[in-house]
Amino acid sequence: MILPEKKLQLNALAQEKHIAIQCPDAPGVDSIAAAFGLYCFFRSKGKPATIFYAGKEPISRPNVVELVHQLSIPLEHRTDPAPCRGLIIAVGCQPGTPGATAIGCDSLVVLDNHPKATPLPEQSDIRPHLTCCATLVWHLLHDADYTLEKGLATALLYSLYIESNAFTEIRFPLDADMREALVIDEELFRKLERSNLSLQDLATTAQALNALEYHAEGRYVLVNVLPCDPSIRTFISTLAMRVNKVDMAVVFSETQEDVRFSISSAVRDVQATDLAQWFSANKANATGGTHEQAGGVIPAKECTQGSTTPLAFFQAQLQRYLNSYSVIDCAAITHFSTQGFRAYQKHPVELAYIRCEDVFTNGTVLHVRMLEGDITVVANADTYLMIGLQGEVYPIAKEKFDSLYTPTNAPANPRPFLYPPTVRKDNAQNRTTLLQHALGCISKEYRVLARQLDHGVKLFTRWDSRRYVRGNPGDWLIQPKNDSTDLYVITRELFPLLYTAVRPAQHTGE
């Protein structure tokens, strides 16, 4: 996974004489907060930037109005915008697409967290993997060494709060980094939080709850709600989870273009993020969230093929999902059958590792963040952290490391990752990249037993009994030959880079 090439520097844009910041025609919290971040930065450089939006209707959502009022954001409504001199920076939109009026200007830069929908200027920064555009702007401000005032920090965090359904659908580590780093005005944040819903939203919630469907065999509810703010779906799903005999809730709303859904789950082997990806057919960046709450968007045509309704779609897909996998719990294994497994030889591959005792005090609680999610590890002399080819991090005991890898006694070769893994010590505020502490190692040529999966598997490893690793059909289930209870999953793409079949096959049975 390659890091996006850094094309945009705010300090370079600050050289422009005239700067206008454009929001979508119907701006929400995210675009306004992101625009305000740019406005504050350019003002600090002595540039009299402006913020505006086009379109016929003025802002009316109570939380949007409250945000603009509380922070005195100089947001202009230009119903018939004239061409602008100098630079326009479009934030959270792509001018020329529906909902974003194209306006004449000398030069244009687009900052957006939605997929590219139109030809864009070269300097534009598009990051559809991010949960909100506010994160993109925060990252640019961070790179420019700009110190955020509490009011701006509060606006950016509130944007993430809204776009991620109260932080339940954060889908990329950089979003989590921003949430962790910002120092906000707590009183202002609570005031904004209380302005999320209107009286009409409350009526919409009551109507949806009155029509919910409960499925006793799966202990779940399906709730169809009118198109609404994402926080309403979260509110309904959270409320449903407080009901006896409800272990899962799927709340969705439909428009002509798409169906948006929120999931809550209290089932050990049904992580909300996993189920959300299933609903959206594993489309990249379609979903995000935590193990307990997640959500996503599905094109309406995929939920309404033929006479199928979105309600029938979710019911059928949920049942298929529950039938699509088996569960393996390493902590409960006394003997694991290797029927159908074959012997494979591990290739020598250069990886990176960290001896915890070299970097952290014994007993330090480490919060590791990677693209796949967060893990918590306690540092001690017996624990190493491995960094895989795709930036994945996993702990390994010293004894096992010594048997599987040969240290190079040199710093690890840098690899470009979409998100380089980071670590934060318990009670610390700042994160550091793990790679700066990493040493190189070469995997030894050793044999494992492996079988390609023909059905889904959810594997609870010995390192984490609460969160499973998902293996999909085509992925590989691996068992080290010297440990019958230590299983792990390798993706179908990664397996041929790491292993070669032993010829002739020397293990095909028990």
The pLDDT score that the predictor gives to residue 303 is 84
User: Are residues 86 and 20 in contact, defined by beta-carbon separation less than 8 angstroms?
Assistant: yes
User: Cα dist. 27→57, 396, 504 in Å?
Assistant: 10, 48, 64
288 token code pair: 């995000």
Residue 454 has pLDDT above 90, yes or no: yes
Q: Who contacts 284 (Cβ-Cβ below 8 Å, separation ≥6)?
A: 129
For residue 509, the model assigns a pLDDT of 45
Whether the pLDDT of residue 282 is over 80: the answer is: no
The string of pLDDT tens digits covering residues 17-30 is 999 999 999 899 99
Average pLDDT on 483-490 reads 82
| CA–CA dist 232, 165 (Å, integer) | 9
Give pLDDT tens digits for 372-426: 788 889 999 999 999 988 888 989 999 989 988 999 989 998 888 888 999 998 8
pLDDT of residue 4: 45
Q: Is a pLDDT exceeding 60 seen at residue 115? A: yes
Structure tokens at 333: 């294994």
The pLDDT of residue 175 is above 80: yes
Residues 220/243, Cβ–Cβ less than 8 Å:
no
Alpha-carbon gap, residue 503 to 402, rounded angstroms = 27
pLDDT for 504 equals 61
Give me the percent of the chain exceeding a pLDDT of 70.
Answer: 95
Token output for 310? 């979105």
Q: Is the pTM of this model over 0.85?
A: no
Which range has highest mean pLDDT (210-224, 297-311, 484-498)?
A: 210-224
Report the C-alpha gap between 375 and 387 in whole angstroms.
Answer: 13
Quick one: pLDDT at residue 207? 92
Q: Does 94 have pLDDT greater than 70?
A: yes
- Higher pLDDT: 179 or 234? It is 179
Q: What stretch of H or E contains 34?
A: helix 29-44
Does residue 286 register a pLDDT over 60? Answer: no
Decide if 356 contacts 384 (C-beta within 8 A).
yes
Looking at residue 285, its pLDDT comes to 37
- The answer to which of 41-50, 165-174, 261-270, 360-369 has the lowest mean pLDDT is 165-174
Quickly state the pLDDT bin for 3 (edges 50, 70, 90). very low
- pLDDT of the residue at 255: 86
pLDDT band at 287 (very low <50, low <70, confident <90, very high): very low
Which of 443, 489, 441, 484 is closest to 464 using CA atoms?
A: 489
pLDDT at site 325: 93
Query: How far apart, in whole angstroms, are the C-alpha atoms of residue 376 and residue 369?
Result: 9
Architecture of the domain spanning 199-323: Roll (3.10)
Domain ranges of the chain: 10-193, 199-323, 325-345+445-510, 348-444
Tracing tokens 């710093």 back to the chain, one arrives at 411
Q: Three-class SS of residue 298?
A: strand
Instruction: Give the pLDDT of residue 292.
Output: 83
Q: Which residues are registered as beta bridge partners of 329?
A: 460
Fold classification of 10-193 (topology level): inorganic pyrophosphatase (n-terminal core) (3.90.1640)
